[in-house]
Structure 1
Amino acid sequence: MSLSCTLASERSESTVENTSVVVTGAGSGIGRATALRFASQGANVVVADVNAETAKAVADEIGNAVPVVGDLSDPAVVDQVVTTAVETFGGIDVLVNNAGIMDRMSAAADVTDTEWERVLRVNLTAPFLLTRAVLPHMLAKGKGAIVYTASEAALRGSASGTAYTVSKHGIVGLTKSVAIMYREAGIRANAIAPGGTMTGITLDVDPGAVGPQIVGGYAKNVGRVSTPDEQAAAIVFLASDAASNINGVILPVDNGWSAV
């Protein structure tokens, strides 16, 4: 093998070893699978979750990890996550903005102020706050990778209710804005758009309401439901050196749902 081929091969390896990684929503589902996958490849992980029991359980399972508990829509919790990563692992190389909640599948006329404000706060404002908080640390290093969990609902209007759909479309805009604003500083931002995935998220819906009836009519297009680990594999790839020239991408991980 020529030297050039050898170097190209080395660059293509999915390397996250010895990196400092923050994963939000890491107590269960996609977040848990992502935290475990990073750790299995030698990364140091901050396990951030609103549930103290599951956050601690995942951190204990990993070993070389530290849990941070709290609602990331609270700026004080965001500061705690960042401070913990910097003080424990010396900085932040990767941020995975995965935490999120579902809406009630409500159509626009039926969305309450409470539902709208809560879903947008958790799904869009919290990732923005955490992004803003980690960027100075990545800029100081001259590199970094941010991966967001968007959704199939970020690609279409028929996968969820109004509040959730808007929040995930906002994640697409945030991803692309960060990607273009900071690419010359060595920071990449990408997102996955999961289709149906086996997670612990529960739905609190009124099946007789307009929104659930409309959205339910498109459920036949979902196809095979993925495992959390299939989503995690895409996240770790996008965060790794193997994706060093991938920036501003919204990657569907949906078994072709977005192609229907």
Structure 2
Amino acid sequence: MRFADKCVIVTGAASGIGRATALLFAAEGARVYAADRDFEGAQRLSGESPGITAVACDVCDVAQIKALMDRAAQDCGGIDVVFNNAGAAGDRAPIDEIEAEGWDRTMDLLLRSVAMGIRYAVPHMKGRKGASIVNTSSIAAIGPGYSPTAYAVAKAGVLHLTKCTATELAKYGIRVNAVQPGFINTNIFTTALEMPADLVDTAKAMILQASSNAQPVARGGMPDDIAQAVAFLASDAAGFMTGASLVVDGGITIGPRHAWDPETPDMFSALQAMADAAAAAGTPA
């Protein structure tokens, strides 16, 4: 019961990582405010645990973020933990095609909302022992190739925002950290592709299988994998961590495939195999 009697905010709580994290916090004693623009989804979640309160909140609307934080603080007397998690794939257009509106919309959802979540939570977190903020970044922040450009840039911004705010808020005893998920089996991929509902389950199974083959940990990532990392960062067990990011990706970013897959030769092994084959055939290498 690491979060007994704690007031916790989770944005993007109606599904995926947010849902799993809200349930975990509630199971460990927290009073959780599950915020999502999908209010019906948040209400279904609240029906699964008496510790969860559903709140309608579109994080692209700053007034709604402020109202969320003010409501939770009024009910609880303050806020102990904030998980700035709400997000989606954003505009998928390449840089030579994206329009300013799509770029701005992506930044508002994935970066500005995190900044404003911190902005309006902090006044209610000052003086709270163990106060902690966790932000959702991504492995896309590490380098290109994992997501569309606008998403990757926004998630890199979340990492730097995490570091900057950790320094600013240290004087209040508020820790700020980030989690960087890899390929997690949520609806973000199927939603981004506007996939028909009857294909979603099949597509998610394909994504799960593909991701399990693409990383050293030979299984697909699940929302609870990230929830466990977020709970750790928010807990007293991580009390000596701030301005840090925790990569939870099954090892997909640790190096090229040949570094961990014995069936994939590295460049030198491949060249040696070519030389050996040439020698066996009597051809000068």
Q: What is the TM-score normalised by the length of structure 1? A: 0.85
2:270 aligns with none
Give the structure 1 partner of residue 250 of structure 2. 255
Query: Contact 1:15/1:242 (CA < 8 Å) preserved in 2?
Result: no
Runs of 4+ deviating beyond 4 Å: 219-223
1:41 aligned partner: 28
Task: Look up the SS of the partner of 1:110 in the other structure.
Answer: coil
Output aligned runs, 1:198-237, within 5 Å: 198-201=185-188, 202-204=191-193, 221=214, 224-237=219-232
Please tell me whether the aligned partners of residues 147 and 191 of structure 1 are also in contact (alpha carbons under 8 angstroms). Answer: yes
Q: Please list every run of 5 or more consecutive structure 1 residues that lacks an aligned counterpart in the other structure.
A: 1-13, 206-218
| Cα distance between partner residues in 1 of 2:71 and 2:187 | 27
Equivalent positions of 1:5-24 (< 5 A) are 15-24=2-11
Match of 1:26 among 5, 9, 13: 13
The Cα of 1:140 is off from its aligned counterpart by 3.9
Report the equivalent of 1:125: 112
Query: How much has 1:136 moved relative to structure 2?
Result: 1.3
Aligned-pair CA distance for 1:222: 5.1
- Offset at residue 178 of structure 1 (A): 1.1
d(CA) in 2 for partners of 1:168, 1:107: 16
Contact kept in structure 2, 1:197 and 1:226, CA below 8 Å: yes
- For the Cα contact (< 8 Å) 2:130–2:235, is it kept in 1? no
Identity of aligned residues (%): 38
Match of 2:240 among 226, 239, 245: 245
Q: Name the SS for the 2:175 alignment partner.
A: strand
CA apart distance, 1:257? 1.4
SS at match of 2:48: helix
Across the aligned residues of Structure 1 and Structure 2, the Cα RMSD in angstroms comes to 1.7
Give 5+ residue unaligned stretches, structure 2. Answer: 195-210, 256-285
The reply to whether residue 196 of structure 1 matches residue 191 of structure 2 is no
Q: 1:222 to 1:166 in 2, by over 3 A?
A: farther
TM-score, length-normalised on structure 2? 0.78
* Counterpart Cα distance in 2 of 1:44 and 1:70: 17
Change beyond 3 A, Cα 1:142–1:38: closer
Q: Is 1:111 the counterpart of 2:78 in the alignment?
A: no
Pairs within 5 Å for 1:149-164: 149-164=136-151
Aligned to 1:3: none
Q: How many residues align?
A: 234
What is the CA distance between 1:104 and its match in structure 2?
A: 4.3
Provide the secondary structure at the position in 1 that maps to 2:192: coil
Q: Which residue of 2 aligns with 1:89?
A: 76
